[in-house]
């Protein structure tokens, strides 16, 4: 949809060039394959645009969700400045880039001119200490942070994640933290690169990059310290990512659907974690289990590791890499009165279908445990394979 709007703005403003096509990467991930004529038209217009302006980094609908694919393909490096026409562009901050979402009009203009105006945001630093407990993932940490500061707690600010617990997280887990910075209103969500980050990036690209670190005398608007040593699995109740509570407060709520996927938690680490819970079990009758690997790379790796077989044997449906029900797309929508537990990032009213449905946000472990029990369940109470 954003691609179509950008093309329309080009026509409205009389723009006729792309400033530097080599710096542009584009794909289709929201509605793939097209399920309606309108969606097919969006695909047509996007392809016409990239062909007209000779954008070679066109990935079509083959690769998956942009926020997972772009880092995997080596298009994101520490120190980069990246803008995208989707709010979850904040994801790339996990690699030490300054990345943020912008509107379609801004995107059209920056494509044509290579220029954009920013107000430098103040920074809130989150010092996350403590050893990460078993069954706790990056999703639980960020839900707790947003629950503490609120969905407007970092409006037009940078959220910087630091501390021993952040360093303990895998790169996949760090992506989840940065991805959901926007759910607290943040302009960016950055993690200072360490050796784990640098090795990951070097495995993806041969291009040189410069790591940007804090000055010794760096000033922060606020430093928030939290110890997660005793953190319980978290669930965000509808209709806000900010209404995060321990899973014990919502245990037993019946679900109609469990969704594992999205740019937040559709990575290989997420599928591996969920598969350990699901293996050897069956999804109950009346519950829909939907698994959508976030990229072709994740899909292929999960296939080779036998994870997809585990999900299929449990009764899940596996879809091609795309955004799916996270954005109310062409698969996995909810009917009136239905409830879903989801590893995605937003649970607004009508986000996943009917305005009379409910979406609970949780980690892949909690989603998997709930799927096999048919109700919201503490993953610590479900035996792993």
305, 351: one domain: yes
Report the pLDDT averaged over residues 299-304.
98
323, 347: one domain: yes
306: pLDDT strictly greater than 90: yes
DSSP H stretches of helix in 118-163:
138-149
* C-alpha span between 229 and 242 (Å, rounded): 21
Residue with tokens 């670190």: 213
CATH number at residue 376: 3.30.499.10
Report the pLDDT averaged over residues 134-138.
97
* C-alpha span between 384 and 278 (Å, rounded): 8
220, 245: one domain: no
Report cis status (omega within 30 of 0) of the bond before 239: yes
* C-alpha span between 236 and 323 (Å, rounded): 20
Last residue of a domain, one of 199, 231, 263: 231
Alpha carbons within 13 angstroms on the beta-carbon side of residue 125 total 12
59, 180: one domain: yes
What region does 241 belong to: left with phi over 0, alpha with psi -120 to 50, or beta? Answer: alpha
Residue with tokens 């959508």: 292
190, 248: one domain: no
1: pLDDT strictly greater than 70: no
Q: Report the predicted TM-score, pTM, of the whole model to 2 decimal places.
A: 0.96
65, 156: one domain: yes
Last residue of a domain, one of 215, 231, 247: 231
54, 184: one domain: yes
Counted domains in the chain: 2
205, 288: one domain: no
149, 16: one domain: yes
pLDDT tens-digit readout, 73-104: 999 999 999 999 999 999 999 999 999 999 99
Token pair recorded at residue 103 = 């509107």
Last residue of a domain, one of 202, 231, 260: 231
Residue 347's domain comprises: 236-381
82, 222: one domain: yes
104, 190: one domain: yes
373, 264: one domain: yes
Q: What is the DSSP letter of 233?
A: P
Token pair recorded at residue 201 = 């990036």
pLDDT tens-digit readout, 53-62: 999 999 999 9
Question: What is residue 31's predicted lDDT score, i.e. its pLDDT?
Answer: 87
């Amino acid at each position: 949809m954003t691609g179509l709007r950008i093309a329309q703005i080009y026509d409205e403003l009389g723009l006729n060039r792309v400033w530097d096509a080599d710096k542009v990467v584009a794909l289709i991930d929201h509605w793939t394959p097209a399920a309606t004529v309108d969606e097919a038209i969006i695909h047509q217009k996007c392809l016409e645009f990239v062909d007209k302006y000779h954008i070679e980094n066109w990935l079509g609908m083959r690769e998956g969700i942009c926020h997972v694919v772009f880092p995997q393909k080596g298009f994101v490096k520490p120190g980069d400045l990246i803008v995208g026409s989707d709010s979850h562009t904040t994801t790339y901050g996990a690699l030490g880039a300054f990345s943020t979402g912008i509107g379609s009009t801004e995107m059209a203009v920056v494509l044509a001119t290579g220029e954009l105006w920013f107000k430098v945001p103040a920074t809130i630093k989150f010092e996350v200490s403590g050893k990460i407990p078993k069954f706790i993932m990056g999703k639980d940490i960020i839900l707790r942070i947003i629950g503490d500061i609120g969905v407007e707690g970092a409006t037009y600010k940078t959220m910087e994640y630091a501390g021993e617990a952040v360093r303990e997280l895998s790169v996949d887990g760090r992506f989840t933290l940065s991805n959901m910075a926007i759910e607290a209103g943040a302009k960016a969500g950055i993690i200072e690169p360490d050796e784990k980050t640098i090795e990951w990036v070097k495995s993806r690209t041969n291009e040189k990059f410069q790591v940007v670190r804090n000055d010794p005398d760096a000033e922060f608007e606020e430093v928030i310290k939290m110890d997660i040593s005793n953190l319980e699995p978290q669930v965000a109740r509808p209709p806000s990512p900010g209404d995060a509570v321990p899973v014990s407060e919502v245990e037993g709520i019946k679900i109609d659907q469990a969704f594992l996927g999205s740019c937040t938690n559709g990575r290989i680490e997420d599928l591996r974690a969920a598969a350990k819970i699901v293996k050897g079990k069956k999804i109950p009758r009346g519950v829909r289990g939907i698994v959508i690997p976030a990229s072709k790379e994740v899909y292929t790796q999960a296939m080779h590791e036998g994870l997809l077989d585990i999900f299929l044997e449990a009764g899940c449906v596996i879809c091609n890499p795309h955004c799916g029900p996270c954005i109310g797309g062409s698969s996995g929508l909810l009917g009136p009165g239905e409830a879903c537990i989801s590893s995605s990032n937003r649970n607004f009213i009508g986000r996943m279908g009917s305005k009379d449905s409910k979406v609970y946000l949780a980690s892949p472990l909690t989603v998997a445990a709930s799927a096999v029990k048919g109700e919201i369940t503490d993953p610590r109470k479900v035996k792993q394979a």
